[in-house]
A and B are shown apart, each in its own frame.
Chain A
Amino acid sequence: MTPSHKWTGDYLFLFENLLLKDFRIRYRNMSLGILWSLINPLVMMGVLTFIFGSVFGGANSPVFPLFVLCGLVPYNFFTGAWLAGTISVVDSAALVKRLPVPREVLPVAAVLSNCIHLAIQLALLIALTLYFGLKPHAGWWWLAPLWILYVVFVCGLALLSSAINVFIRDTRYVVESLTLVLFWLVPIFYSFTIIPQRFAAVYRFNPVAALVMAMRNILIDRQAPPLSLVENMVIVAAVTLALGLIVFRSLKPRFYEHI
């Protein structure tokens, strides 16, 4: 059944080109360029700080803006990358119909493209941390493995949802709704400590919430994240990637007909 030919190209070169393409298309037509990547989180941080700091008066921490941004950066990356990944295969219909490129490349490249956006926002987060007088310490090394696990998790999720989206086009709207709900379910403007005990386990296995907590541990509390939290992230990332690959591989032979 399987054709005997395989795509034998250069994956690194292909990814580089797909990322550059996204980057150029996104930023070339913007007069403010990458500044747009900074404006959105800054505005959201300002609004949330005002509402929950001044209006509700619930936040008396002096670093509340940083607290909020620690929540916004993982959340923003998650929503942007997951949605871009979900629609990637359908949006590349011309490629799927005409070129025998490995289809897995499309959602993964869409997620990785959002990492450019992410890098800018992380730089902002680091700058704000230093601005609040919180100096670098050994725990910062945890940032790299945690974010890599997080990107792997989103790649797995994008593989899963992009494949389903080919067959059920409502998927992208489900994803959009879920990310809206997630804004409230992830401790972005509130602390994990106020969550009732019986829901705590759910939060610990939600990688978005887990990363938010870890970011606060590292940047604000100046500690290494709890090892149990890292273990959970490893498990969730590995399971999601495996599931995403299995589903994507089993559905992709039928993409051509349904796209």
Chain B
Amino acid sequence: MSTFSDDRSAVRFNRVVKTFAHHAGRKLLRERLADLAQPSRTSRFTALDDVSFEVAHGESLGLIGPNGAGKSTILNLATGLALPDSGSIEVHGHVAAILELGAGFHGDLTGAENVRINSALMGLSRRQAAARFEDIVEFSGVRDFIHEPLRTYSAGMSVRLAFSVAVHTDPDVLVIDELIGLGDQQFYARCLERIGDFQKRGKTILLASHALDLLTMFCQRALWLDHGRIVEIGPAAQVAAAYRSGRASGA
């Protein structure tokens, strides 16, 4: 792997290990007490096992691998939502994550109110939020309904609004978990175009996707993960081809 002294890298994972407790769903007092009495009760599984990689400024890295391979864990760690058990993570610049569209949206509030709240949550200042509001509404294409409660929106409409807010936060690093379900063909094309713009402006992208064609179209490099370990990292087309044939042969 490359050296870790390169300050041109936007994202840097160095020997990252992340484990989660099995049965993290047990959260009641008696279970806590039982855990204390018998610590061996809690077993952990390793979501990421000694993962190191770097993404240079302006580069796009694709993450591929089966469900549960650790792709989302990488994205969550890069976004700063969780901390690694060991190893280090560095991210330079402002990060915006599109992990789940519409996180923080509320059905009883209007589209416009949700846009404002989400802008604030994503770190925009009052002035930025006001200045970008028109662009966000325009891009989403739901202007006619912007003062209606969100619960009256179709699923596609609220996804469009959420995506629109996320891409207008103007991040240095954009973290995307899957690019499907983005409404109709026309809107989908506009989203891809927007992401292309990001790249032209030298922004860094981390994209996890099962759509290999899309991934190879956008990303220079790809990282193939399986069971929390890196199988291969390299030029996107090459890694995607290896992943395809690896899957086909059942390896």
Pairing of A with B: yes
Q: Which residue of A lies closest to B173 (CB)?
A: A5
Contacts of A98 in B (CB 8 A): 81, 97, 99-100, 103-104
Contacts of B126 in A (CB 8 A): 10, 12-13
What is the 8 Å Cβ interface bit string for chain B, positions 11-34, against chain A (1 contact, 0 not)? 000000000110010011100100
Please report the C-alpha to C-alpha distance between residue A25 and residue B150 in the assembled complex, in whole angstroms.
Answer: 12
B52 within 8 A of A: no
Contact B109 A168 (CB under 8 A): no
Contacts of B167 in A (CB 8 A): none
Please report the C-alpha to C-alpha distance between residue A45 and residue B27 in the assembled complex, in whole angstroms.
Answer: 39
What is the 8 Å Cβ interface bit string for chain A, positions 1-43, against chain B (1 contact, 0 not)? 1111101111011101110110011001100000000000000
Q: Which of B99, B123, B129 contacts A7 (CB 8 A)?
A: B123
**Minimal beta-carbon separation of A4 from chain B (angstroms):** 5
Contacts of A25 in B (CB 8 A): 106, 108-109
- Given A3-B90, A24-B108, decide whether A257 and B120 contact each other with a Cβ distance below 8 A: no
Contacts of B95 in A (CB 8 A): 5, 100
What is the 8 Å Cβ interface bit string for chain B, positions 75-112, against chain A (1 contact, 0 not)? 01111111110101111111101011001101011000
Contact A94 B103 (CB under 8 A): yes
B121 within 8 A of A: yes
Q: Which of A20, A96, A257 contacts B24 (CB 8 A)?
A: A257
Interface size classification for chain B: 35 or more
Please report the C-alpha to C-alpha distance between residue A99 and residue B82 in the assembled complex, in whole angstroms.
Answer: 11
| Chain A positions 160-175 with a Cβ under 8 Å from a chain B Cβ | 167-170
Contact A95 B121 (CB under 8 A): yes
Q: Which residue of A lies closest to B79 (CB)?
A: A100
Q: Which residue of A lies closest to B91 (CB)?
A: A5
Contact B24 A258 (CB under 8 A): yes
Contact A168 B117 (CB under 8 A): no
B143 within 8 A of A: no
What is the 8 Å Cβ interface bit string for chain A, positions 202-221, against chain B (1 contact, 0 not)? 00000000000000000000
B229 within 8 A of A: no
Q: Which of B27, B108, B121 contacts A14 (CB 8 A)?
A: B121
Please report the C-alpha to C-alpha distance between residue A133 and residue B100 in the assembled complex, in whole angstroms.
Answer: 58
| Chain A positions 80-134 with a Cβ under 8 Å from a chain B Cβ | 94-101
What is the 8 Å Cβ interface bit string for chain B, positions 186-210, against chain A (1 contact, 0 not)? 0000000000000000000000000
Please report the C-alpha to C-alpha distance between residue A248 and residue B88 in the assembled complex, in whole angstroms.
Answer: 23
A256 within 8 A of B: yes
A226 within 8 A of B: no
**Minimal beta-carbon separation of A11 from chain B (angstroms):** 9
| Chain B positions 100-153 with a Cβ under 8 Å from a chain A Cβ | 100, 103-104, 106, 108-109, 113, 116-117, 120-126, 129
Contact A13 B113 (CB under 8 A): no
Interface size classification for chain A: 35 or more
Contact B91 A100 (CB under 8 A): no
**Minimal beta-carbon separation of A6 from chain B (angstroms):** 8
Contact B28 A95 (CB under 8 A): no
Contacts of A96 in B (CB 8 A): 81
Taking each of A3, A10, A20, A170, which has the highest tally of chain B beta carbons within 10 Å of its own beta carbon? A3
Q: Which residue of A lies closest to B25 (CB)?
A: A258
A253 within 8 A of B: yes
Contact A101 B90 (CB under 8 A): no
What is the 8 Å Cβ interface bit string for chain A, positions 223-240, against chain B (1 contact, 0 not)? 000000000000000000
Contact A1 B84 (CB under 8 A): yes
- Given A25-B106, A95-B121, decide whether A253 and B83 contact each other with a Cβ distance below 8 A: yes
Q: Which residue of A lies closest to B12 (CB)?
A: A4
**Minimal beta-carbon separation of A143 from chain B (angstroms):** 30
A–B complex contacts, Cβ < 8 Å, 14 sampled: A3-B78, A4-B91, A8-B94, A13-B120, A17-B117, A21-B106, A24-B108, A94-B104, A97-B100, A98-B104, A99-B121, A253-B83, A256-B76, A257-B21
Residues of B within 8 A of A (CB): 20-21, 24, 27-29, 32, 76-84, 86, 88-95, 97, 99-100, 103-104, 106, 108-109, 113, 116-117, 120-126, 129
